[in-house]
Amino acid sequence: MKNLIRFIVFSILCTNAYGQSTTTVNIRSLKTHYGASQSGQYYTGNADSHTEFDAMVNLADGGTTLYTEGTVDITSYQGPRGGNHTPYQLWNPPRWSTNNGRYAIIYSGWFKPNKSGLYRFRTFTDDSHEFMIKGIGKTNDIVTKYYGWNVWAYGTATLDKNTWYEFEYRIQNYGGIGAAKFEYRIPNGNTYNQLSPNHPFAEWSATDPNAVPITASGYIKGAEEVGIAGQTVYLKTQNKNQVGFSYTTQATTTTDSNGYYSFNTTLNYNDYDFTIDINPSLGTLITTDINWFQDRLLSDTFSSKDYWRMDVNNTGSFSVSDIYLMHQRRHGNISSYPGGGQEIWSTNFWQQPYVWNAVKVDTDDKTINNGYGSWSLFDLSNGNQTTFYLLRVGHKN
Amino acid sequence: MKIKNIFLTLTLLIGTMSVFAQTTAPDATKPYVIFDSTYTLESTSSTSNTTFDIYYDNTSGNDVKGIQFSFNYDNTVFDEPTLTYNNTSGPAGYLSYDVDSTNGIVKVVWVYTGSTTTFDMIAGNMFTVNAPFLSNYTNSAVADVDFTTDLTAYYVKSDGTDGVLGTQDNGGNFIEPAFDYTATILNSGTNPADSIDVILQKSSDGSSWTDVTTVTTNSNGESVFSENLDQDYWQIRLKIASGLDASTALSTADANMIAQIAAGVQSASGIQFYTANTNQNNGVTASDSYMVFSRLAQGNSSYSSNPDVLFFTEAQYTTISNATSDQSSSIPGLTEFLSPLINNTTTGNFYLLILGDANGTGLN
């Protein structure tokens, strides 16, 4: 039943948000204080400091659990509209309990004000609250705050109408009736306006309008420059400008029948450096490939590629013995080739075009050059496309 | 006579041994691919192609999983050959080969493709090469086939590494197709002529002839020829040189019989119109009898101006034998026998008649 209610609430939230993109923001509704009159792990009744408020809205704290989250129209009554207890209980965000509940409501997102200049803000909640605009130089980004209840908090901010600002308005209620109001005064204005459809204050967004989604695409191709299907490709990120390398996987895909892969993420390129990594697989050896290699023995013409894909017994030359071993590997009689060594060699054209350009036309044994063809695909620009080339033992392509 | 027969037998044995197939490994140090000593060419007019086998043998005790090698062929004789694997080691194998017709080189790779880890190639005539003649080829010397190093000869060891594959070339020579023929030289239908040297001759144009071999008739009057001659190319005939000494066939009984025929005491048979007409002139007369008496008395080995022997084909002999009159004006016989062409036949009977041998003793 509880889950059903959550689903219904979430559905309503999503429905309300639909078509209201200019006033839609994120909302997160939390149950705090274990849902009762007890302290969380790192906070007590009302938040009395920014640190305590951080703890209260942090799901890592045992006293706080997620009730629901989604988006709302910030100018509706699901937004910070209605409080001061008049009219009674107009503020109606999704809450796990409206009657004497312990909860926190966090609105977040981005806004672009309608005018440029000095804005004045005042906020009123029951109980504590913090209104933050990030990146404008405020301590802890806080513009207005009050740790207690039913007291107007005042603050100012100089804003530019062409700039998207990230904001967060966090409100908690520690029992009793909750309330939340948000009022602003435009530059050179004389009156405060309650945020409402008639006074939207700004253009709002639940997603970062400044964000540049990370996209990347490319191909994984074999020795004959034909795409290889089913190869695993990773998109990995680390924080922008981070020192060192600690990339973690954000998305995984596999190549299609043309060897093509693509990533269209919501990750912000302004926040992350990214790299494309692959986990190539050898694949099943097939008789037609092996026969092709055997016929190649007769041609007396070999390429640099053949030293990787054809010289499976690692003797530095090509003979019927290589062919025999391929068949034995195909039958599963052997799991590796004599001499061991690398079975898949790869390079990427974006990083080292000169490598593949040489390998595909040269005839010398480049495998003897330690590290030749190794690659590190970093410093990708967003939207870059690159082609990986694989040379796999026993595979023509 | 006995010594001659022993010699003939030894010659035949040596000849037979020389064409025995040589298709086994010469030693046990390694596996081998092998060319036989000789291969037989197809006839130039045949619709079939010349084929020759490449053999494999291994007594080394080491398992062999595949082989590669190369060989050459006479590209002035043969058009681009094809190669087939004869399944000597079973069907689980893949053959690939390449023909460089410009240089007459063939590269061959065969590998076991099955899953049995204990597989070992089996000895035998592993490959058959099918080599068509070039369209402009008629008949000329054909270079032998030899193994080459264009593709290094390796075999696959059990551990998947290369081993040295031996290449045993026992000759690889090409010989023309066999021509087997038995010529029987007869004094009469029941009297074979022994110890007659019969020469087999060949000619490409019918005017210039070359002796191929000479075989002396045995006690059955047979000269048995077994040669490598493309009878679709060569014109082939037999020759028996003139000058045979038939003294052993002559006796006073012959002279007396001739005298009786001359005197009309007895009539001449068709054959005796030749054998009793010793001087080959004016039918059978006392002069013919005299020639025989005179030769016997003087111990001469020949007549002064007449041959000892005349040769006839079987058809001529039959005509003569059946006749009751002298046929010599139309069938004079040959003192040097040159047979009609014997291409595409395997046997032939030829007859000789001895002047003065009226009672038909013959050469034997």
Using the Cβ of A336 and the Cβ atoms of chain B, whether some distance falls under 8 Å is answered with no
Rounded CA gap, B202 and B224, in Å? 16
Q: Could B156 and A328 be called an inter-chain contact, meaning their C-beta atoms sit closer than 8 Å?
A: no
Which 48-87 residues of chain B touch chain A by CB within 8 A? 65-68
Q: Which residues contact A42 (CB under 8 A, 6 or more apart)?
A: A52, A55, A58, A61
Rounded CA gap, A244 and A264, in Å? 25
The residues pairing with A347 across neighbouring beta strands, listed in sequence order, are: A389
How many helices, marked H, and strands, marked E, lie in chain A? 6, 18
Q: Could A319 and B162 be called an inter-chain contact, meaning their C-beta atoms sit closer than 8 Å?
A: yes
Q: Please tell me the predicted confidence (pLDDT) of residue A12.
A: 43
Q: What is the number of alpha carbons within 13 Å of residue B189 lying toward its C-beta?
A: 9
Q: Could B109 and A338 be called an inter-chain contact, meaning their C-beta atoms sit closer than 8 Å?
A: no
* Cβ-Cβ contacts under 8 Å, B160 against chain A: 313, 321, 324-325, 328, 334, 337-338
* Cβ-Cβ contacts under 8 Å, B150 against chain A: 300
Beta strands in chain A (DSSP E): 24-31, 65-73, 102-113, 117-126, 129-133, 142-146, 153-159, 165-174, 179-185, 193-194, 202-205, 213-221, 232-239, 248-254, 260-268, 272-279, 344-348, 385-392
Using the Cβ of A313 and the Cβ atoms of chain B, whether some distance falls under 8 Å is answered with yes
Q: Please tell me the predicted confidence (pLDDT) of residue B3.
A: 46
Rounded CA gap, A127 and A177, in Å? 9
Which residues of chain A fall short of a pLDDT of 70?
1-21, 83-89, 370-371, 373-376
The DSSP 8-state label assigned to residue A93 in this structure reads -
Q: Please tell me the predicted confidence (pLDDT) of residue A83.
A: 63
With H, G, I as helix, E, B as strand and everything else as coil, classify residue B151: coil
Using the Cβ of B205 and the Cβ atoms of chain A, whether some distance falls under 8 Å is answered with no
Q: ipTM value of the model?
A: 0.81
Select from B66, B115, B159 the Cβ nearest to the Cβ of A320. B66
In 3D space, the residue among A150, A204, A193, A154 whose CA is nearest the CA of residue A25 turns out to be: A204
Tokens representing residue B119 in the block: 């597989």
Tokens 């020192």 found at:
A243
Q: Which residues contact B219 (CB under 8 A, 6 or more apart)?
A: B192, B194, B364
Using the Cβ of B151 and the Cβ atoms of chain A, whether some distance falls under 8 Å is answered with yes
Cα distances from A340 to residues A269, A315, A336, B181, B189, in angstroms, run 41, 11, 6, 66, 85
- A252, A232 contact by CB (below 8 A): yes
- Average pLDDT for chain A: 90
Using the Cβ of A314 and the Cβ atoms of chain B, whether some distance falls under 8 Å is answered with no
Rounded CA gap, B193 and B182, in Å? 14
**Other Cβ atoms within 10 Å of A179 Cβ, number:** 24
* Cβ-Cβ contacts under 8 Å, B151 against chain A: 297-298, 300
Q: Please tell me the predicted confidence (pLDDT) of residue A384.
A: 85
Q: Please tell me the predicted confidence (pLDDT) of residue A300.
A: 78
Select from B96, B107, B111 the Cβ nearest to the Cβ of A324. B111
Using the Cβ of A2 and the Cβ atoms of chain B, whether some distance falls under 8 Å is answered with no
The model's pLDDT over A266-278, given as tens digits with 9 standing for 90+, comes to: 899 999 999 999 9
Rounded CA gap, B215 and B197, in Å? 6
Q: Which residues contact B245 (CB under 8 A, 6 or more apart)?
A: B301, B302, B308
Q: Could B98 and A299 be called an inter-chain contact, meaning their C-beta atoms sit closer than 8 Å?
A: yes
Beta strands in B73-112 (DSSP E): 82-85, 93-100, 105-112
The residues pairing with A249 across neighbouring beta strands, listed in sequence order, are: A236
- B334, B352 contact by CB (below 8 A): no
Which residues of chain B fall short of a pLDDT of 50?
1-4, 6-18
Q: Please tell me the predicted confidence (pLDDT) of residue A370.
A: 67
Distance, in angstroms, between A334 CA and closest chain B CA?
Answer: 10
Using the Cβ of B94 and the Cβ atoms of chain A, whether some distance falls under 8 Å is answered with yes
